[in-house]
Each structure stands twice: as C-alpha cells, then as structure tokens.
Amino acid sequence: MLCKLKLPWPAVKLRLLALITISFFSLPTLAQSQQVAHFTSGERQVSYEIFGPANTGPIVIMLHGVGGPDVPLYRGLAQYLATKNYTVLFLHYFDATDTHRASDQNYVAWEKAVSDLVDECRKNPAWAKRRIALLGFSLGASVALAAGSQALPVDAVAEWYGSLPDEFFYKLKGMPPLLILHGQHDDNIPVANAQQILQLCGMKKFTCESHIYPDQGHGFLPPAYDDAVKRTLDFFSRQLK
C-alpha cells in the first residue's frame, strides 16, 4: 500500500552527510550534560541518553534515523530542546534487534522498545505525571508512527520524513496528535507516504498537522531545517501544556 523507494546507499550517505554537517552547525554550541540509563525490552538491554532537566518540563522521546545514535544532528537537537525545558530521552532502539534492517520483525521489536520506555517513564515517580511526546527522523519517524498507531499513551508525535510501516497500517488502533513534516522531492520515502497518512487521519478523525516543503528531499537543509524545528516546538508547546 505504501510507496516506499530507496536511493542507492552511497547517494543516501552523501545526502545525510550534507544534512548532518549543515544542520549540526546551525545549532548553538552547548555544554548540556547527559546521562545514560537502561531498561529491558524483549529480554534485551536497551539504552537511552537523558538530556535536560530531569524533574521539570515535558518529556520528548527522540528516535534517530538509519545512521544510528552517533549522528551529531540528533544530540545537537536534543541539547537544544533541553534549553527549552524539555527532558529528552534519546532512545537507542537498535539495541532491541540484531540488525538495523527495516523489516516487519524489527519494527515490532522497535515499537515495543518505545512502548517499554513509556512504561518506564510512568513507573518513575519524577516522570509519572509528565506529558510525553515522540520525535522521530526517517527510520525513527517510522518507528514513532508504528508506536503511535498502537494507541500508545503519549500526548503527541512529531515525525520528520517517515512512513507508517505496512504491518501497523493494517492493525491501526489509534494515533496521538500528529505532526507530519516531509519534503516534496523525497526520493527515499516519497511524499505519497505522508499524503496517505494524512488521508488516514482524515478518515479516522485523528488530530493531524502537516507541512510539505516544496524544495526539500529526504532530510531538511536550512532554512527548511530551522523552520521544521520551529514547527515542532510550536506543536509540542500546544499539545504538551
């Protein structure tokens, strides 16, 4: 049902490298400290990094793209969100599987890791009553959509250039308020995927906002990147009051 295309990996790497370099240096240099914590999901130990205030503000669970958690873009943005009084939990969801391939089996394990981290938040006395949002990029956006589609008890989902995996499309249970940001010229995950999710939200009467960048591909370059950050913060500020 979904129109997923893949660029040859060298082309993907070149585009991601340009995005990472430009986007990372568009963020201020920050010295925000971080901690690493662990939990068990599917009998595997999964890690997450904690950015920002531990006891105040909403929680954002951040989901990296195919490049993994070491990409500077994600840590830079996590640090930036921390200055806005968010606690960012940067989930290493690849820990939950043996491979990083976007298969049905892996999506199930990654979705469970997200759900289990939300459960961890609800068990933590300091976090139990705080609002929670998911923020995902590319593959991580697809994981965020998969988790949201199972009526995950979070307050918002922001997805940047992702798609709803087919298996979760067919077993849809719900969706938190959703922000979709996508590039019109995305050759890796075509914009048709975003349009299909929008149609689904309309049919199911889910709360959904979107913006399609007419001059962007897979990954946002400034000034679209900066606009996407602003739209995401505005969305969270309204949904996580």
Whether 190 is in a domain gets the answer yes
Query: Domain tally for the chain?
Result: 1
DSSP H or E segment with residue 49: strand 44-51
- Give the pLDDT confidence score for residue 223 in this predicted structure: 97
- Give the pLDDT confidence score for residue 9 in this predicted structure: 34
Whether 68 is in a domain gets the answer yes
pLDDT at 13 over 80: no
For residues 117-126, give the mean pLDDT: 94
Mind listing the pLDDT tens digit for each residue in 195-206?
A: 999 999 999 999
Whether 50 is in a domain gets the answer yes
pLDDT at 21 over 90: no
Whether 125 is in a domain gets the answer no
Which range marks the domain in which residue 15 is found? 9-96+131-239
Take residue 34 and report the two structure tokens written for it: 């971080």
- Please list the alpha-helical segments (H only) found in the chain: 9-25, 72-83, 104-123, 139-148, 166-170, 191-204, 224-239
Mind listing the pLDDT tens digit for each residue in 76-95?
A: 999 999 999 999 999 999 99
Whether 170 is in a domain gets the answer yes
Q: Please report which confidence band the pLDDT of residue 241 belongs to, taking 50, 70 and 90 as the band edges.
A: confident
Mind listing the pLDDT tens digit for each residue in 41-64?
A: 999 999 999 999 877 899 999 999
Residue 160 phi, psi (nearest 5): -105, 115
The CATH number for 200's domain is 3.40.50.1820
Of the two residues 3 and 155, the one the predictor is more confident about is 155
Whether 160 is in a domain gets the answer yes
| Integer Cα distance of 174 and 193 in angstroms | 18
Whether 48 is in a domain gets the answer yes
Whether 116 is in a domain gets the answer no
